[in-house]
Homo-oligomer: A and B are copies of this chain.
Amino acid sequence: MTTTTRGFATIQQRDLVNQIADMLTEALLKGEFAPGMHLAEAQLARDFGVSRAPVREAARLLESRGMLVSQPRRGFFVRTFNAAELDDVYDLRLCLERHAVRLLAGKLTAEMEASLDAQLETMRRVARDGTAVQQIEEDVAFHRMLCEFSGNQRLVRVFDELCHEMRFCILLIGQLYDDPTQVAESHQPVMDALRTRDPDACEAAIDYHIGIAQQRVVEMFRERETS
């Protein structure tokens, strides 16, 4: 209710928790908090100009997303990842998307195909004139579509959770792609495989695609770790 720190006082009456969670997320992704760092509720509350209650809830939310961890009576800490954990995340993601494309192969409609094609087009666009963050977002969006179109909503939820963690790690290592055009083009084989409607071909394509990404990201993360 008190004044915001800056001019953008868009009606705060609506859901402080989500706003705080978003701001915290952004700060985390920007690397403003060092991994393992302790986040004091009172301090954050002062920074945001609110009481501790919504801060606490927002922190719990981020905890459930795996971006923070909490210890009883000690509070919240920025989640630390090691390369092995990141590898697990990618491994699980591969497991999910494999399943998704197999399901999708048997039910791909013209609308889905059009949506995916459109998304590929978007990716090509941001590859030319988009920020690294945008490129990652559109990349994720394509994969999320695959999960959504699989028809298993529960799978999408888990995928979203994993995405939070992957984003977190990717933003930590800085940039992901050295040639942005690859972002879009590396997805084309997946799209082509889907069009064949052959589950095995789809699985192979996604296997290859994610395997590459996994190798790259985990490797870069491992390098960052030893510095």
Total A residues in contact with B, Cβ cutoff 8 Å: 25
Residues of B close to A14: CB separation below 8 A: 72
**Minimum distance in angstroms from A34 CB to a CB of chain B:** 23
Given A85-B154, A158-B158, 16 new contacts (CB under 8 A): A15-B72, A53-B53, A56-B57, A57-B57, A57-B60, A85-B153, A88-B152, A88-B153, A88-B154, A89-B154, A91-B152, A91-B154, A92-B96, A92-B99, A92-B155, A95-B95
A175 at the binding interface (Cβ < 8 Å): no
Indicate how many identical chains form the complex: 2
Given contacts A15-B72, A72-B15, is CB(A92)–CB(B154) below 8 Å? yes
A109 at the binding interface (Cβ < 8 Å): no
Contact among B53, B95, B152 with A96 in the assembled complex (CB-CB below 8 Å): B95
**Minimum distance in angstroms from A50 CB to a CB of chain B:** 15
